[in-house]
């Protein structure tokens, strides 16, 4: 379940000068508090969603909404509100999302660079993950590296999810006695077909 909604926090309070109380008509006793609303998801502030003011007379202690003030009051509030800054933490969620996206791009780029490096310089026990013809995933393990070919052992198991690779990449699933020869060309065409998913070292 995703928990989200609005929350409000107190931003700033002030006395509104030259404003008459609509109730007791005392001058200069009107105070305002500005509350900033923001959208949250799991209580992490995502972005601001407007400010509201509440008003109280210090003389009669009655509370008011903005539309109950006279024109001077509305104007004084407008001036005050324009000086109230939205704190940057109210954007935390957006910041977090931006960081996660940036990290995702970075990690993908690093991963691609790693695969390119492993393809260029294969090593014993590298494990290649590839997409099978039936759109499953399986692996083969490098047993020997030669100048223009690899001896590999295929995994006897396959999985329908990429994340399932860790469950099938086990020594018992690779044959000790049966190996295949993959030429550099074979590996290149595997990569070009887009079916080479990953290389782990
Ligand atoms: Zn009053």
pLDDT (tens digit per residue) in 157-199: 999 999 999 999 999 999 878 899 999 999 999 999 999 999 9
Q: Is residue 11 part of a domain?
A: yes
In the reported structure, the alpha carbon of residue 29 is separated from the centroid of ligand 1 by a whole-number distance in angstroms of: 7
Residue 143 pLDDT grade (very low, low, confident, very high; cuts 50, 70, 90): very high
Same domain, 138 and 192: yes
Predicted local distance difference test score (pLDDT) of residue 3: 86
The DSSP secondary-structure symbol of 1 reads -
Length, in residues, of the chain:
201
Predicted local distance difference test score (pLDDT) of residue 47: 92
In the reported structure, the alpha carbon of residue 79 is separated from the centroid of ligand 1 by a whole-number distance in angstroms of: 21
- What is the Cα–Cα distance from 186 to 128, expressed in whole angstroms? 13
* 77, 95, 113 - which closes a domain: 95
Same domain, 152 and 85: no
Same domain, 139 and 63: no
In the reported structure, the alpha carbon of residue 70 is separated from the centroid of ligand 1 by a whole-number distance in angstroms of: 13
What is the extent of the structural domain holding 79? 4-95
Q: Is residue 106 part of a domain?
A: no
* 76, 95, 114 - which closes a domain: 95
Same domain, 88 and 156: no
pLDDT (tens digit per residue) in 1-44: 888 999 999 999 999 989 999 999 999 999 999 999 999 998 89
pLDDT (tens digit per residue) in 75-111: 999 999 999 999 999 999 999 999 999 999 999 999 8
Tell which phi-psi region holds residue 139, choosing left (phi > 0), alpha (psi between -120 and 50) or beta: beta
In the reported structure, the alpha carbon of residue 37 is separated from the centroid of ligand 1 by a whole-number distance in angstroms of: 27
In the reported structure, the alpha carbon of residue 26 is separated from the centroid of ligand 1 by a whole-number distance in angstroms of: 6
Count of domains for the chain: 2
> CA distances (Å), 124 to each of 113, 134, 168, in order?
19, 28, 19
pTM over 0.85: no
Same domain, 78 and 156: no
- The torsion of the CA quartet 26, 29, 30, 31, rounded to 10 degrees, works out to -170
């Amino acid at each position: 379940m995703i928990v989200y909604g609005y929350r409000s926090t107190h931003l700033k309070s002030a006395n509104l000068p030259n404003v008459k109380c609509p109730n007791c008509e005392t001058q200069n006793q009107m105070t305002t508090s500005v509350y900033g609303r923001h959208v949250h998801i799991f209580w992490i502030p995502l972005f601001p969603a407007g400010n509201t003011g509440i008003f109280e007379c210090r003389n009669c202690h009655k509370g008011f909404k903005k539309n109950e003030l006279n024109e001077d009051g509305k104007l004084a509030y407008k001036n005050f509100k324009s000086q109230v800054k939205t704190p940057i933490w109210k954007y935390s969620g957006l910041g977090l999302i931006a960081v996660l996206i940036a990290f995702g791009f970075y990690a993908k780029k690093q991963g691609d660079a790693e695969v390119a490096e492993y393809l260029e310089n294969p090593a014993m026990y590298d494990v290649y993950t590839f997409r099978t013809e039936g759109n499953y995933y399986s692996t083969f393990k490098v047993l020997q590296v030669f100048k223009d070919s690899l001896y590999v052992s295929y995994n006897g198991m396959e999985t329908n999810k990429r994340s399932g690779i860790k469950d099938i990449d086990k020594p018992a699933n690779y044959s000790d006695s049966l190996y295949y020869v993959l030429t550099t060309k074979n590996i290149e065409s595997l990569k070009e077909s887009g079916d080479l998913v990953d290389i782990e070292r």
